[in-house]
Homo-oligomer: A and B are copies of this chain.
Amino acid sequence: MWAICNPKADGDLKPCAALGKTLSRLSQPTILTVLAASAVPLHGYVIVQKAAESPMFGGNKPDATGVYRTLRQMEENGYVTSWWETPKAGPAKRAFELTDAGREALRRWIDSLACYTSTINELRVLASGALGIKTPPTPTCKGS
């Protein structure tokens, strides 16, 4: 659904490897963040646009299908509410809004994300050590 960072290693490390191609799993927090950052309800399509600008993608639009699916799933979990808007002109569109449960979920996500970074970083340090590399160089992405 979404790619992340450096694309060079493609094929041999998979897209960017592991989390790589399908760091998808971070779709929930990404969408939650997009919604949380908005003062008004958003349409699915807009969420796709905004998600594309999220750090998760260097502007690469996520698969819309996936976003809608995640949205539906989040609604089942009570993290968002949605309703149809049927303007006189134009196609019907569904509007999504965060619930309190959704905000709470995002709060938990923030801890999880912190956890991920520290865990991954530990691995990185270990790996560097095993290779006899000094201090790991500072992160740089923005490649994609």
Contact = CB atoms under 8 A, between A and B. Distances in A.
Interface in A83-134: 103, 105-124, 126-131, 133
A69 interface: no
Interface stretch (A3-11, A41-49, A59-67): A3-11
**Chain copies in the assembly?**
2
A130 B107 CA distance: 10
A17 interface: yes
Interface residues of A, number: 64
A96 B54 CA distance: 40
A71 interface: no
Contact of A124 (B23, B113, B138): B113
